[in-house]
Chain A
Amino acid sequence: MPAMNMIQALNSAMDILLTQNPDVVMFGEDSGYFGGVFNATDKLQAKHGAHRVFDTPINEAAIAAMAIGMAAKGLKPVAEIQFSDYIFPAFDQIVSEMSRIRYRSAGQFTSGCVLRSPWGGGIRGGQTHSMSPEAFFTHIPGVKVAIPSNPYDAKGMLIAAAEGNDPVIFFEPKRIYNGPFDGVPDAPLKSWAKHPKGEVPEGHYRVELGKAEVTREGSACTVVTYGTLVHVAEHAAEKSGIDAEIIDLKSLSPYDIDTIAASVNKTGRAIVAHEAPRTSGFGAELAAQIQEDCFYALEAPVLRLTGWDTPYPHAHEWAYFPIQSRFIRAMEAVTKAV
């Protein structure tokens, strides 16, 4: 199997989708001619035509809303919001229209589409290029939220999202587009070529949404996370020698509580981790559900390891971001707590 980075894997997924389904169309800011700011749609316009892969003006609200209209009339839009920090002009359309068209038409119309968007921090992007806004979207019944953490899943999940019938907000951790991140800020970039999930089949396959994966088995505690932090957590476990079980959530809405509960019932200790601010973050949902489902197995309070309750900072990025040392401290705290 060829080695691919996340960009190549996503590009391969989109190439397959365009080839296999004539109703698939892709659009976004600089997505067509330019091939996307991170090259995710590189060469797709040249191969599949400018009527299927095209540029929009800088109009996030209309990008999301046009996708709804296109989907309602039989197309399969896979649209791009250039950075997830730019998605908010589209928020009204996602909340009020995209998520509800099936419900309020009693199933006559659907808005099955995918909004892809580079997401998360770790690239020194500051306030408007680093956010993790997933919790805003997991609070909306009627849209799915998915966040892959490696090239293999990125391709399989994007195909599954586009082949499903529901709207999916598909966030792509841009810090790990070109290689996994072990959570040591100044360490040189690693390549996906040496990572098992960097091996990506060239053809069609799906990684179904809604399923989490245990990426590292362990007995000392459970770490539930997603995106870039999956790798930081794994490296923290290796570095510290704490035998943590790491769960890559992959889908946040709906999410796989069964896999989480099975793990926490085994370990009795849980950390939930994300880059987004702590208060009302997705970790709060996870902690609450773990408490409901695993209360009698818990030997320590569920611990949240998150970004702080501040705007995403510029100079203070590594004080804000849950880096490897913070993971190790959290693992030590949760395993020692009685």
Chain B
Amino acid sequence: MLSWYKDMLLIRRFEEKAGQLYGMGLIAGFCHLYIGQEAVVVGVQGALEEGDQVVTGYRDHGHMLATGMDPNGVMAELTGREGGYSRGKGGSMHMFSRDKNFFGGHGIVGAQVPIGTGLALSNKYKENGKISVTYFGDGAANQGQVYESFNMAKIWDLPVVYVIENNQYAMGTSVKRSSSETHLYKRGVSFNIPGEEVDGMDVVAVNEAAAKAAEHARSGNGPYILEMKTYRYRGHSMSDPAKYRTREEVDDIRSHSDPIEGAKKKILEAGYADEDALKKMDKEIKEIVSDSADFARESPEPNPDELYTDVLIEG
């Protein structure tokens, strides 16, 4: 529990810092913050085994930190520097780590869903006992290729857990206005894929559901859908003033359902740690994040020759 709390806090503080660097002009272009949704990736990651794969969309910083990727390398990719995970070639939405089995950040909405299904097929072919965790949002849930993937995943009983992060807004369009069936966990019904709704603001509930889904997929029963009911506090991207929802709505969720505050309360009640210990932890995390920002500022601009590398292996 304490470790989940720490992981969630790292993501929160990292994203706050990324927002600051964006405001200072050190991060350019598009930047989608994960603040509010931390319990989802932390709870799911806690149910995975070494070697399981993770793939997601463009709101990807939290997923990367949860897989254990180095905050320095993630932040330096945001600033487009040599020390970034893609050496500045990808930016916020397009980062990868072979070491941590993180198959990207993908900027095209829904594109990662068939890719994650392909990862699962690879697992099955190689009989390696691993699963693919394929994240996507409520907006992506309406893309046609999601359903092409669901069908194939069930025909062949592929070891994949589809995690739908339903933060209730596809940029400015709410689920109610974009989806005929707003209970997205039911989207697998016509493919015979089981699904369930999960309180995505509660890291314990997320972890329990993910453990069950992972076990289902790993033991040869095929895909499983988890709909995480969650919420993003910030705009869709840094340029979104979020006019499509009220300040009260955001404040209400922040004050009643915040995943980090919820975990903190449980920790204190159960006596896993006291206030002082948690404060100390926060201070340590702030240092890690501050170091990552320094690294991302000081890491050199990538060499211009890098423009032409990695296009083809044999050019």
Q: Does A58 interact with chain B (Cβ within 8 Å)?
A: yes
Q: Is the CB of A89 within 8 A of B29?
A: no
- When the two chains form their complex, are residues B90 and A126 in contact, meaning their CB atoms are under 8 A apart? yes
The stretch of A235-243, A255-263, A289-297, A304-312 that contacts the partner chain: A304-312
* Interface residue count on the A side (C-beta < 8 Å): 33
Q: Please, how many angstroms separate the alpha-carbon atoms of A29 and B109 in the complex?
A: 11
| In the complex, B140 has a CB within 8 A of chain A | yes
* A-contacting 9-mer, from B35-43, B121-129, B173-181: B173-181
State the CA gap A191–B43 with chains docked (Å): 48
Residues of chain A within 8 A (CB-CB) of B302 are 315-316
Stretch of B62-70, B151-159, B303-311 at the chain-chain interface: B303-311
B306 and chain A: residue at smallest CB distance: A316
Structural contact, B29 and A128, CB atoms closer than 8 A: no
- In-complex Cβ contact of B311 among A37, A129, A310 (8 A): A310
Least Cβ–Cβ distance between B175 and chain A, in angstroms: 10
Residue pair A315, B178 in contact (C-beta under 8 Å): no
CB < 8 Å neighbour of B90 from A37, A309, A314: A314
Cβ-based interface call for A319 (8 A): yes
Q: Is the CB of B88 within 8 A of A314?
A: yes
From B94, B144, B171, B306, A62 is in contact (CB under 8 Å) with B144
Is A33 an interface residue when CB atoms closer than 8 A count as contact?
A: yes
Across the interface, B108 reaches (CB within 8 A) one of A30, A55, A85, A125, namely A85
Whether B192 sits at the interface, judged by CB under 8 Å, is: no
Task: State whether the Cβ of B30 lies closer than 8 Å to any Cβ in chain A.
Answer: yes
Determine if A124 is an interface residue (Cβ-Cβ < 8 Å).
yes
Interface residue? B301 (CB, 8 A):
yes
A95 to B302, CA, bound (A): 39
Q: Which residues on the B side are within 8 Å of A123 (C-beta)?
A: 29
Which secondary structure characterizes the binding site on chain A?
A: loop
Q: Are A30 and B142 in contact (CB under 8 A)?
A: no
- B191 interfacial by beta-carbon distance below 8 Å: no
Complex: chain A residue closest to B107, CB-CB? A128
Residue of A nearest to B82 (CB): A315
Contacts of B90 in A (CB 8 A): 126-127, 314
Mask of A274-316 contacts with B, CB within 8 angstroms, 1/0:
0000000000000000000000000000000000111101111
* Shortest Cβ gap from B254 to chain A (Å): 23
Once A34-B172, A59-B144, A315-B88 are accepted as A-B contacts, the answer to whether A127 and B107 lie under 8 Å apart by CB is: yes
Is the Cβ of B173 less than 8 Å from the Cβ of A315? Answer: no
Q: B172 and A30: CB pair below 8 A? A: yes
Given A33-B177, A311-B311: A59 touches B29 (CB 8 Å cut-off): no
Contact with A along B181-198 (1 / 0, CB 8 A): 000000000000000000
B137 (CB) vs chain A CBs: closest residue: A58
> Counting CB contacts under 8 A, is B91 at the interface?
yes
Query: Which A residues are CB-close (under 8 A) to B243?
Result: 34
Q: Is A61 an interface residue (CB 8 A)?
A: yes
Residue in contact with B29 in the complex, picked from A85, A125, A309, CB distance below 8 Å: A125
Chain B's nearest CB lies how many Å from the CB of A57?
4
CA distance A57 to B92 in the complex (A): 24
Q: How far is the CA of A21 from the CA of B221 in the complex (A)?
A: 55
Pick the contact of A124 from B28, B140, B173 — CB < 8 Å? B28
The 8 closest A-B pairs by CB, nearest first: A128-B107, A315-B88, A34-B172, A315-B80, A124-B29, A314-B91, A57-B142, A124-B28
